Each structure stands twice: as structure tokens, then as C-alpha cells.
Structure 1
Amino acid sequence: MIDSHAHLDLADFDHDRAELFNAMALKGINSALIPAISEQRWENQLAIAQQYHCYFALGIHPWYVPEDINASLVSLENMLAKHAANDRLVAVGECGLDKLKPDFDRQQQLLSGQLKIAINMEYPVILHGVKCHQELLSLLNRFPNPKGGVIHGFYGAPELASRYIELGYKLGIGGLLLNPKAKKLRKTITELDIKHFIIETDSPSMTPYNATEKRNTPLILPNVASEIANLQKKTTVFILERLNKNFSQLFELS
């Protein structure tokens, strides 16, 4: 298993990161993709990714819109170019839109710039979208990316899922699926082909509703995979094989 979205570089893991990676290995979770959050944290993120042999993406999260968007976009482009030879750099992101946060117009400016960079440098994108699917779909139509990407933390119904899929995007499925009240998401998993999904945790965030620990970790990943298998009425082995294949295809891993 590979956790396709885990912020394992954050301070939440500083006290037990090595122990967590050991526990992940024992559960068959052999890697993770660490997405970026802000320009100021790129260097630490890259150091953690290198130390623990993780995949990574570079980008700017909509919660961290910089003062000078154009300057930060230049920095992002330079950083991507600097690490282009690293085969563990697989995407641009985490980027996106979030209507629960301020500066929505500037968020759209920042995302547009990152979408252009991803297209020009031939990377898929990892997208965050909260309460803004119409605006996000509009931008993805405006900046079509042949490499596609993933809608991280997807929680919507099959109709919304299909609109993203038509644009070449996969759906990141996490701990929300373990909540029986997540009816729209569970319907999406039941009705759509497994080829459209990858699994993630968004650690340390998006802790499942019934978890005893506040901090989320990749250790919940087997539960997510098992629930997908249950809803699709397939074996967990089949589901895991296909999810791994989806990850490898999306991020063009050999």
C-alpha cells in the first residue's frame, strides 16, 4: 500500500516519525506521497521525503496564499526545475481552492498559476477543493492537463465524481469513507469503477469519526482499502492491486 496524501513532514510527527514508518512497514504500507503546503516548508518537506524514501509534490496550498503570488510562482517553477531529475518528485501540489478561507480571488490566481506550471512542466496536480467545485471545475476546464491529477479528500456524489473523471482526474479516498453517514461518498465508491480511485489519509488531518487518537496516521489505510472492497463486493487483494496500479499510472512510476 501507498498513502497517496500524507503530510508526514509536519511537526505532529517529529516525536515519533521513525516509529511510525516502522509501524507502517509492518502493516504493508511501504511508502507515502508527501504533498507541499507552503514555500517556507519545502526544504523540510524534501529532507523528510529523502530520509524516509517517500514520493513528494511541490506546490502552494490555498490556506497559505503568499503576499507576492507571482514571485512565489517563480520560486515554485525554479524548485521544480531544480528537482526535476528526482524520480520521487511526481506532481504539483497540494494546490486548490477553499471557500472556508479568505482571499478566494487570490486563491484562484494562485491556482491558475500552478495549473499552468504543471501543464508546462508535464506534471499531474494534487488538488484541494472545499465548497468550490463549480469554480474548481471551471479552472480545470480552462487549463486542461494531459497528465490529469487527483481530487484529494473527495467526498461527493457520483455525479460530481464523474465530472472530474471526465477531465482526467482520479479521486483520493480517505478516512471519511469509514463513516456510515458519508452516504454520497459511499454511493460513489459503490457505483464507480475502482480504476478511478487512489487511497490516502491526509495525515495528520481527516481523522476517522470513530478514531481513539486525534492525530490521523497512514495506519488507517488498510481499513480504507477494506471498506472499498466491501462496498465494491471484491476481495481486498484485488482492490489493493488495482489501487497500487492506479497510483503508479497516475504518477508514471516505473
Structure 2
Amino acid sequence: MKPIIDSHAHIDFPEFDNDRDALFLQMRSVGIENVLIPGVSADKWQRQIQVAKQYDCYYALGVHPWYSESASTENMSDLRGILKLRKGDCRLVAVGECGLDKLHKSNFTTQLNLFKEHIHIAMEFDLPLIMHVVKAHEEVIKCLRTESPHRKGVIHGFYGGPQLAQQYVNLGYKLGIGGLLLNDNAPKLQQTVAQLPLESFILETDSPAMTPKSSQNNRNTPLILPEIIKKMANLQKKSAVRISEQTFFNVSQLFDL
């Protein structure tokens, strides 16, 4: 069985400060070899890089749409500077997370401008994008079609139905599948996983957020990944080994790991 990679886990967050060492040991004992730590805001980038270095994790840098109003032109200039400085760092594999979120109170035009800036930076540095998209798929698809980045990327925490999923896949993007799949009230997402080719998906948890409803814990961790694989195997009518191998290939190919 191929090792498992969590393509989206905020393992640098303070929620993990008390037991990060122990968690990494537990992860490795169940075959989870690595995580990709996405960026959320400029003030957290250095801590993120430090954790990635300490635990030999992959990481991405960017500004989450929730932080778009506090982001400045200096932040984007800093992002370019860090990407230039760390060009040879094989752990730095993407730009993000970035994107659009209509449920958040921050100004949508500000979000949109910042998202476009992330796309341009990703194109400039030939890196894939990690995107957070909530109730704004039409706008994101329009941006991706217009800008047409070469390296593509992932729609993280995807929760939509097969028709929407297919639009992204047709454009060359992967879909990040996480703990939502384990919830009984996610029929659209379960339909998507059952119907689309396995090549469309990568695994993620969005830890410490997005805890499945069945979980006893408030804090989500990468340790739920074997359950997600099992659920995908059930929906795809394939073996867990097949799911594990293909999703490992997908994430390796996407981020050039």
C-alpha cells in the first residue's frame, strides 16, 4: 500500500502545539507519511515554514479569503520575495490557500482582486494553486478559464455534486476530498466520489477544522484519512489499496512531489 499524504492540514496551528510530536508518530504508524500545510495569512507564514522544516512537511504560502481585508500589497510583495528566496526548497510546492468565500463578511471585490493576484503569482513561479471556494464556483471557474494557469491545482474541501465537479475536472483541476464525505448528510459529495474517475481526487482533512459528525473529538486530525479511503473504496466499488495508490499518485503528480 502506498503511503498516505494529507494534502491540506493546518498542522502548524496552536491546536497542535501540545501533542504535535505524538501525532506525527501516530500518523506514521497508520501509513500517513506526510502533510501539506497551506498558508492562511502573512503573519503565520514564518511559523508555518518553521513547522514544515521541523517535521519535514510540504507547505504552500498564500492568503485565505477570510483574511483578504487585512492583506496588503506589501503582503503580496513579501509572498513574491519568499517564493524567490525559497525557489530551491522542495518542501514549498504550491500557492495558497487562496480563493473566494461568499459566506464570509469580507468584501467580495477585495477577495476577487486578491484571488487574481494569487493566480498571477502561481503562474509567475510555475506552481499549482490550493483554492478555498464557498458559494463562488461560478466566479472561480470564470477566473480560471480567463487566466488559464498552466500548473492547475486543487479545489480544497470540495462538497459539490458531479456536474460542478466535472467542470473543474474538465479544466484540469483536482478535488480535495475530506471528512465531509463521512457525513450522512453529504449525498451530493458522495455521488461525486461514486461517479467521477478516481484520477479526479486527492485526500485531505483541513485539520483541525472539518471534523466529521461521527467523531468524538472537536479537533480534526490527519488520522481520519484511512476512514476516508475506506468510504471512497465503498463508493467507487474498488479496493482501499487501489484508492490509496491512485490518490497517492494524484497528489504526487499535482504538486510534483
* TM, length-normalised to structure 2: 0.97
Cα drift, residue 99 of structure 1? 0.8
Cα drift, residue 143 of structure 1? 1.3
- Alpha-carbon separation, structure 1, partners of 2:40 and 2:70: 15
- Alpha-carbon separation, structure 1, partners of 2:233 and 2:184: 15
- 1:201 matched to 2:205? The reply is yes
Stretches (4+) displaced over 4 A? none
Unpaired runs of 5+ residues, structure 2, are: none
1:246 match: secondary structure: helix
- 1:127 matched to 2:117? The reply is no
8 Å contact 2:96–2:130 — kept in the other structure? yes
Instruction: Name the structure 1 match of 2:24.
Output: 21
8 Å contact 2:9–2:208 — kept in the other structure? yes
Instruction: Name the structure 2 match of 1:237.
Output: 241
Structure 2 residue identity aligned to 1:94? E
Instruction: Name the structure 1 match of 2:38.
Output: 35
Instruction: Name the structure 2 match of 1:218.
Output: 222
Instruction: Name the structure 2 match of 1:75.
Output: 78
RMSD (Å), alpha carbons: 0.9
Count of aligned residue pairs for this structure pair: 253
- 1:150 matched to 2:154? The reply is yes
Alignment partner for residue 177 of structure 1, among 170, 178, 181? 181
Structure 2 residue identity aligned to 1:191? Q
- Alpha-carbon separation, structure 2, partners of 1:116 and 1:166: 21
- Alpha-carbon separation, structure 2, partners of 1:166 and 1:120: 23
Structure 1 residue identity aligned to 2:217? E
8 Å contact 1:66–1:72 — kept in the other structure? no
Alignment partner for residue 55 of structure 2, among 52, 58, 65? 52
Structure 1 residue identity aligned to 2:93? V
Cα drift, residue 68 of structure 1? 5.5
Residues 1:68 and 1:235: Cα distance change in structure 2 (over 3 Å): closer
- 1:61 matched to 2:99? The reply is no
Cα drift, residue 69 of structure 1? 3.2
8 Å contact 2:69–2:107 — kept in the other structure? no
Cα drift, residue 70 of structure 1? 2.2
Instruction: Name the structure 2 match of 1:92.
Output: 95
Residues 1:68 and 1:202: Cα distance change in structure 2 (over 3 Å): closer
Residues 1:137 and 1:230: Cα distance change in structure 2 (over 3 Å): same
2:32 match: secondary structure: coil
- 1:188 matched to 2:189? The reply is no
- 1:105 matched to 2:102? The reply is no
- Alpha-carbon separation, structure 1, partners of 2:111 and 2:164: 22
8 Å contact 2:63–2:71 — kept in the other structure? no
Alignment partner for residue 164 of structure 1, among 162, 168, 177? 168
Structure 1 residue identity aligned to 2:26? A
Residues 123-161 of structure 1: CA deviation (Å, up to 9, x unaligned)? 000000011111111111121111110000000001000
2:124 match: secondary structure: helix
8 Å contact 2:69–2:110 — kept in the other structure? no
Unpaired runs of 5+ residues, structure 1, are: none
8 Å contact 1:69–1:110 — kept in the other structure? no
Cα drift, residue 104 of structure 1? 0.9
8 Å contact 1:146–1:168 — kept in the other structure? no
Cα drift, residue 180 of structure 1? 2.0
- Alpha-carbon separation, structure 1, partners of 2:100 and 2:160: 16
